[in-house]
Structure 1
């Protein structure tokens, strides 16, 4: 079924393919943000299993603004995905080794790409563009893709840029994109879990790391790890 859908999407007219891509992006964004937003609210208020990292009040109609920009970003991501139809070589990797190598190379590429794009967005020419995202000082799961269309284009072009340089199967590109969206939404969850579990605590460090970026500004630009932040001394310790 999945292979049939991929083949249909590849061969479909661009308008049909765009609608399909928009539907997938919006479904991932809305469902993940909604589940985290509601779930975290219950964990904090009802079960007291954690707390908000930043406890300030949200701005007036903040989530409405975030939703609007998030949907726009999803449409731009979908448009960028059409470029991957022209660049891919296989739907799925030809071997397990190829799968692992594609994942590793893309993760390394994206960590580098996202860091330096993020740094670029904090330079004077792009301050108004990135300022849209930083309207959310106290972040919510909906803040993840509350970005200016130009910033959304930078994000959406990561896979096409990678595929113009390296081999990336279409199926792997989709899975990594979906996981990347979900992880980005987690980064903006503004939630600290109160549990003495090393694995859960490590996961919980990610939202705290990124919340510090929204609170302090030009620190903690990294996506998955702090490698480039350490290299360029832009890392701020998370309390």
Structure 2
């Protein structure tokens, strides 16, 4: 497989990249949406984190922005392919155990890389490139790739540095966008899948990222908490409770007022 990938033309690499990223986005996004909107609530498993309604046109906006990100990620496959063509990186054959260790290392690196770039995107010079993603205050699985193009470029280069410092297996590198998107869909699902685990458990990532979108600052990590703990950016579990309750009550009063006005008419 490594030789086959290296032997592809530039156009083929970009075409396969577009199909790959578009395919996993739709599969994971639709699966997570179906699970959290229909299957799990019907089974009484888990709970919705933020009960507020989506913004008008939010899903359409998320899909449009995600389409641009998919274009960037797909065409961006030319860069790892280019490293191989230039001889700056090599793909190696590994045993299943070695592949597992490489994937573990890449999972940890992904969290470090995400945290660094995420914190940069919250600084004054770069925050305007992150605000399109934060327009989704109540998130959906389709918020996952809903980025400004600059943010997509920053987050999409995660495998380039590892490739030049170590000869990874093709399958190890292929796992990065798969587990990244999977965990990202979970994190943006606005659903608490494991209500009994502690807020710092890695199974509670959706809780932590829900708070990040609700509060904007804090909980900058990806799936794990070690970077947030190290840099003291962990949000308390109830950080958004008052805000959500206040807005939910205001909406209920507006709805009650509209119904009263309708009856009076």
Q: What's the TM-score bracket when you normalise by the shorter of the two chains?
A: 0.7 to 0.9
Task: Give the match's secondary structure for 2:192.
Answer: strand
Q: Which residue in 2 is equivalent to 1:53?
A: 49
Alpha-carbon displacement from aligned partner over 1:70-114 (angstroms, at most 9, x marks no partner): 121122112222221224422542x34532442233223222111
Question: Which residue is equivalent to 2:131?
Answer: 131
Map of 1:165 onto structure 2 = 165
Question: What is the deviation of 1:120?
Answer: 0.2
Deviates more, 1:125-134 or 1:70-79: 70-79
Contact 2:90–2:163 (8 Å) recurs in 1? no
- Per-residue deviation, 1:50: 3.0
The secondary structure found in structure 1 opposite 2:126 is helix
Tell me, yes or no, if the aligned pair for 2:65 and 2:145 is still in contact at 8 Å. Answer: yes
CA contact (8 A) 2:202 2:225 kept: no
**CA shift for structure 1 position 135:** 0.5
2:187 equivalent in structure 1: 187
CA distance in 2, matches of 1:195, 1:114: 25
Q: Give the stretch that moved more between structures: 100-109 or 139-148.
A: 100-109
TM-score (norm. length: structure 2):
0.80
Aligned in 2, Cα 1:101/1:68: closer, same or farther, shift over 3 Å? same
Alignment RMSD:
2.3
SS in 2 for 1:102: helix
Counterpart contact for 1:102–1:168, Cα < 8 Å: yes
- Structure 1 segment 195-210 matched on structure 2, within 5 A: 204-210=203-209
1:237 and 2:236 correspond: yes
The reply on whether 1:90 has 2:91 as its aligned counterpart is: yes
Contact 2:13/2:77 (8 A) holds in 1? no
1:141–1:188 CA contact under 8 A, matched in 2: yes
Where structure 1 has 5 or more consecutive residues not aligned to the other structure, the ranges are none
In structure 2, C-alpha distance between the alignment counterparts of 1:73 and 1:139, rounded to whole Å: 17
Deviation (angstroms), 1:163:
1.2
Number of the residue aligned with 2:24 = 28
Larger Cα Rg: Structure 1 or Structure 2? 2
Query: After superposition, what is the alpha-carbon deviation per residue over 1:117-172, rounded to whole angstroms, capped at 9, x for unaligned?
Result: 10000001111100010000000000011011111111111111221233322221
**Please, which of 9, 14, 21 is the counterpart of residue 18 of structure 1?**
14
C-alpha distance in structure 1 between counterparts of 2:75 and 2:163, whole Å: 16
Measure the CA separation in 2 of the matches of 1:107 and 1:82.
Answer: 22
Distance 1:228 1:195 in 2: 23
Q: Which runs of 5+ in 2 are unaligned?
A: 239-265
2:60 equivalent in structure 1: 64
Equivalent residue number for residue 116 of structure 1? 116
TM-score by length of structure 1 reads: 0.88
Higher mean C-alpha displacement, 133-142 vs 30-39 = 30-39
Q: Deviations over 1:155-213 (max 9, x none)?
A: 111111221233322221012221111111111011123766x69x9565110111010
